[in-house]
Structure 1
Amino acid sequence: MTGAQILQLAGSILLLVAFLLAQSSSIATASLSYLILNWIGSGLLAGGLALAMQIGFVLEVIWSAASLIGLVRVLAPRRHSMRDHQFSLKGNTNTERKPSC
């Protein structure tokens, strides 16, 4: 077994594990573990395909990039929640006056 084949096998196993866990409802597809399994698995598979000079590595690079985008979204703080937090520190920013009775 060549190094490229080992990478392809390891990557495929990780992708299959992620898929099976998601199908059995053990993990959510937006969870950190699912995204990490997908990112590493597709990266290994892409590396193995690139070493074997197979064009399928392009699809795996796209898969890996999509997983990485998902990881960044899960790990990065949300901008709107920070903005909401800043407004709550300043107090009520509502300048609309309510009629007095």
Structure 2
Amino acid sequence: MKQEHPGLFANPTIGGIQIVEKPSDMEAAEQTGAEHLLAKGLTSQWARLGLLYENEAFRVVRDPVRFPGGRLGIYFRILMKEQMMPGSVVLAVYQERVI
């Protein structure tokens, strides 16, 4: 999915939650997520990274991330299919003004 839609995986230039790509960071993020879930009495299987669910309208993904404080972990995103499709926009202009 990243090769098809690289913009969906772009990190903010300053601050924010960063998607990690280094394999050792990805493994550490998944492990930290699993430990966090186990501490809450939940299954560690919910820490699995990648595409979790897809239907005709959206995809649910779990990313390995670094939070603003530096902690590694996991983060869910819901990606609407419209975000992944090329498109175009037409702006109406009348008397040299966009209406």
TM-score interval (norm. to shorter) = under 0.3
TM-score by length of 2: 0.27
The structure richer in strand per residue is 2
Of structures 1 and 2, the one with the larger relative CO (CA 8 A, separation 6+) is 1
TM-score by length of 1: 0.26
